[in-house]
Amino acid sequence: MKGHLVDLSRLVEKEIQQYTFPQKPTNLYDPLRYIMTLGGKRIRPVLTLLGAELFSTPANDAMHAAISVELFHNFTLIHDDIMDEAPLRRGMETVHTKWDQNIAILSGDVLMIKAIQELAKQKPEHVLELLNLFNRTAAEVCDGQQMDMDFEKREDVSIPEYIEMIRLKTSVLLGCALEMGAIIGNASEQDRKLMYQFGQQIGLAFQIKDDILDLYGDPEKFGKQIGGDVISNKKTLLYLTALKDANEAQKIEFLGLEKESNLDKKVDGVKTLFNTLNIREKVSIIMEIHRKYAMEALAAISIEESQKENLRALATYLMEREN
């Protein structure tokens, strides 16, 4: 991130440092102190602050909503990590690994409640609209997570289904974060919807970028193991596109590689096959389509073009990031 985005990100970070959970029961709140200081890009709260600023409202006026979105996001991380049996998050132990599963379930639950509690601190005239948006979005995020789990057991997932899954699991929360800022900035109904659209489309592109980085990221900059999704046979957009475009021989080779126990050989084999099928380019085109949709929504928002620069910069950062 650059310029003003860095300022906002620092503002969020400072606020999170100052946010206090109750002291007791320690087994319930220590995990929350832990996960909230594990870092991360803080993209969602920055979006909320940017959303308010776009409609001439100081970033600080949207801070409770911004923190609420980040608390909710971290709640989803704690519970998703249990469901995925993930040992690590941002290079550190996950909550259910460091404590135990029951503590992870319950501290996740209370974190979601804390998120709503924080949201309710916004100006009373905005709370109901914010809450309705939050609730709808939170339920959709759960729907998306369930679809993701269901996909693991299915062999016939289509690309539109996959896009719908990541829209629910990831993108709607980015749309929600931005629209919350717009609500606090008293934007028109039309502009609020466009902000949501921008966030949602950028969210889709962001998640597709994630899929690409997993295999094509620079090992020195990526920070995680290259090919993690390939190793766990995750049905990413790369995987689904390859399966759709492969001929019979390639399909057999591809499905054979799923069972390969030499992991270097597995990742190299899949990458070679993907290269033959131009998968990176094909998936990048889908990413660009969603970026374009995002830019169209942004263009239609009824504010001065010059004020849109920060959102454009954030979109560029999210598409061109290397980790």
Residues near its own copies (CB under 8 A) = 22, 24-25, 27-28, 79, 82-83, 102-103, 105-106, 108-110, 112-114, 116-117, 120, 124, 127-128, 131-132, 135-136, 138-139, 142-143, 145-147, 149-150
Q: How far apart are CA 52 and CA 211, in angstroms?
A: 30
Name the amino acid, one letter, at 34.
Y
- The distance of closest approach from Cβ of residue 303 to its own copies in the complex, given in angstroms and rounded to an integer, is 29
Q: How far apart are CA 209 and CA 216, in angstroms?
A: 10
- Which CB, 123 or 292, lies closer to its own copies? 123
- The distance of closest approach from Cβ of residue 138 to its own copies in the complex, given in angstroms and rounded to an integer, is 5
- The distance of closest approach from Cβ of residue 178 to its own copies in the complex, given in angstroms and rounded to an integer, is 20
- Which CB, 56 or 135, lies closer to its own copies? 135
- Which CB, 136 or 221, lies closer to its own copies? 136
Check residue 306 and report its DSSP letter.
G
Element (H, E) at 171: none
CA-atom Rg of the chain in angstroms: 20
Element (H, E) at 243: helix 237-245
- Which CB, 103 or 287, lies closer to its own copies? 103
Element (H, E) at 117: helix 101-119
Nearest to 180 by CA among 113, 131, 141: 131
Task: Tell me how crowded residue 27 is: count the other CB atoms within 10 A of its CB.
Answer: 13
- The distance of closest approach from Cβ of residue 204 to its own copies in the complex, given in angstroms and rounded to an integer, is 19
- The distance of closest approach from Cβ of residue 113 to its own copies in the complex, given in angstroms and rounded to an integer, is 5
Supply φ then ψ for residue 85, to 5 degrees.
50, 40
- Which CB, 142 or 295, lies closer to its own copies? 142
Q: How far apart are CA 59 and CA 68, in angstroms?
A: 14
Check residue 93 and report its DSSP letter.
E
- The distance of closest approach from Cβ of residue 323 to its own copies in the complex, given in angstroms and rounded to an integer, is 28
- The distance of closest approach from Cβ of residue 110 to its own copies in the complex, given in angstroms and rounded to an integer, is 4
- Which CB, 56 or 102, lies closer to its own copies? 102
- Which CB, 75 or 198, lies closer to its own copies? 75
Reduced to 3 states (helix: H, G, I; strand: E, B; else coil), residue 88 is strand
